């Protein structure tokens, strides 16, 4: 009888491994595996900048995560995470444009469904980001077909085309800063907004602790058009600092009132929650 039980247990264990190992391998490939896309060296050959893809693009038509790593003599100088929106496709060596300067390297990241993003990586380790007004180095107003695609995927107007429907970048960034100032309790995390395909794929890290990232994401305007809405999430970070932002769990939703510059917490931890009376007042009335 004991022998039969052992055989059954071994069989079940083998079957579990057969199912579990491919699942782990698939998850690693789709979420965490780095693949070198392109690299370039500074004119004096002292610095090397590499662009990696990280996992697969978010299903079904989401952005493709990536990473920039600046090195000097095999030592990491700076690192920057990014996403490029190409209608669910991977990015390639044509998705970046690199300019080397005396104290920094400037990288313009481009995708078919996003505004260009400028990432500046300084040789002292600093990193700055700025979203440009061009799409693949062309003025957004002249890229009609791309603009139409971005409107369809985000469910709204291209920023700047209709100021009554969508707040401008200054207002959105001001909202990010207001929420950051209230809820950042980690002096090591500097204020920084990362942009992707559109405002709705931007985010700002509030707190970054070992194994956990606390961040906010712009979610559009409130029903009454008087507020910018930001959703706060927390997500686990892997040992190699890789983060799957699409797996974060909601912590709260905030309204940034455009007129008063006030931040109002909803207390919501799920979309279907009612929310605080003050939040309802500023967003719906």
pLDDT (tens digit, 9 = 90+) per residue, 86-130?
777 889 999 999 999 889 999 999 988 788 889 999 999 998 888
Q: Residues 128, 187: one domain?
A: no
Structure tokens belonging to residue 2: 């004991």
Structural domain contains residue 30: no
Structural domain contains residue 41: no
Q: Are 254 and 232 in contact (CB under 8 A)?
A: yes
Q: What's the rounded mean pLDDT across residues 132-158? A: 52
Whether the ω angle into residue 60 lies within 30 degrees of 0, i.e. cis, is yes
Among candidate residues 97, 126, 152, the one where a domain is terminated: 152
Of 142 and 136, which is predicted with more confidence? 136
DSSP tag of 237? B
Q: Residues 140, 228: one domain?
A: no
Which of the residue ranges 48-57, 175-184, 201-210, 269-278 would you say has the lowest mean pLDDT? 201-210
Q: Residues 200, 134: one domain?
A: no
Tell me, what's the pLDDT at 59? 66
Q: Residues 129, 57: one domain?
A: yes
Q: Residues 110, 205: one domain?
A: no
Q: How many domains does the chain have?
A: 2
Which of the residue ranges 18-27, 186-195, 206-215, 251-260 would you say has the lowest mean pLDDT? 18-27
Q: Residues 75, 107: one domain?
A: yes
State the pLDDT confidence band at 269, using cuts at 50, 70 and 90. very high
Identify the residue whose tokens are 């690299």: 39
Q: Residues 123, 179: one domain?
A: no
Q: Are 253 and 226 in contact (CB under 8 A)?
A: no
Q: Examine the pLDDT at 48 and tell me if it is beyond 60.
A: yes
Among candidate residues 152, 187, 212, the one where a domain is terminated: 152
Q: Are 206 and 193 in contact (CB under 8 A)?
A: no
Structural domain contains residue 56: yes
pLDDT (tens digit, 9 = 90+) per residue, 184-241?
987 777 888 876 555 556 788 898 877 788 999 998 899 999 999 999 999 887 666 6
What is the number of alpha carbons within 13 Å of residue 87 lying toward its C-beta? 9
What's the domain range around 202? 169-284
Q: Are 41 and 23 in contact (CB under 8 A)?
A: no
Q: Examine the pLDDT at 263 and tell me if it is beyond 50.
A: yes
Q: Residues 137, 233: one domain?
A: no
Among candidate residues 123, 152, 181, the one where a domain is terminated: 152
Structural domain contains residue 37: no
Angle at the Cα of 129 from the Cα atoms of 248 and 255, rounded to 5 degrees: 50
Q: Residues 145, 176: one domain?
A: no
Q: Are 71 and 88 in contact (CB under 8 A)?
A: no
Q: Residues 148, 173: one domain?
A: no
Structural domain contains residue 2: no
For the entire predicted model, the pTM comes to 0.55
Q: Residues 143, 180: one domain?
A: no
Tell me, what's the pLDDT at 157? 38
Q: Residues 96, 202: one domain?
A: no
Structure tokens belonging to residue 219: 């979610």
Structural domain contains residue 33: no
Structural domain contains residue 109: yes
Q: Are 190 and 207 in contact (CB under 8 A)?
A: no
Structural domain contains residue 65: yes
């Amino acid at each position: 009888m004991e022998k039969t039980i052992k055989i059954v247990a071994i069989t079940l264990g083998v079957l579990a491994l057969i199912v579990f190992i491919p699942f782990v391998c698939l998850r690693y490939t789709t979420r965490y595996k780095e693949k070198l896309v392109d690299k370039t060296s500074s004119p004096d050959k002292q610095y090397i900048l590499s662009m990696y893809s990280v996992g697969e693009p978010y299903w079904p038509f989401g952005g493709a995560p990536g990473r920039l790593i600046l090195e000097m003599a095999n030592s990491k100088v700076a690192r920057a995470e990014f996403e490029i929106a190409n209608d669910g496709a991977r990015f390639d060596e044509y998705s970046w444009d690199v300019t080397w300067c005396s104290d920094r390297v400037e990288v313009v990241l481009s995708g078919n469904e996003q505004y260009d993003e400028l990432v500046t990586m300084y040789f002292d380790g600093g990193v700055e980001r700025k979203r440009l007004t061009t799409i693949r180095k062309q003025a957004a107003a002249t890229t009609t077909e791309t603009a139409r695609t971005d409107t369809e995927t985000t469910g709204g107007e291209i920023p700047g085309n209709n100021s009554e429907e969508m707040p401008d970048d200054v207002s959105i960034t001001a909202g990010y800063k207001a929420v950051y100032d209230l809820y950042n309790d980690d002096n090591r995390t500097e204020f920084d907004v990362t942009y992707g395909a559109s405002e709705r794929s931007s985010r700002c890290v509030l707190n970054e602790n070992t194994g956990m990232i606390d961040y906010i994401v712009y979610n559009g305007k409130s029903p009454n058009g008087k507020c910018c809405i930001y959703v706060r999430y927390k997500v686990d970070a892997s040992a190699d600092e890789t983060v799957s932002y699409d797996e974060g769990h909601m912590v709260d939703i905030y309204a940034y009132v455009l007129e008063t510059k006030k931040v109002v917490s909803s207390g919501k931890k799920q979309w279907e929650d009612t929310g605080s009376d003050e939040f309802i007042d500023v967003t719906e009335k």
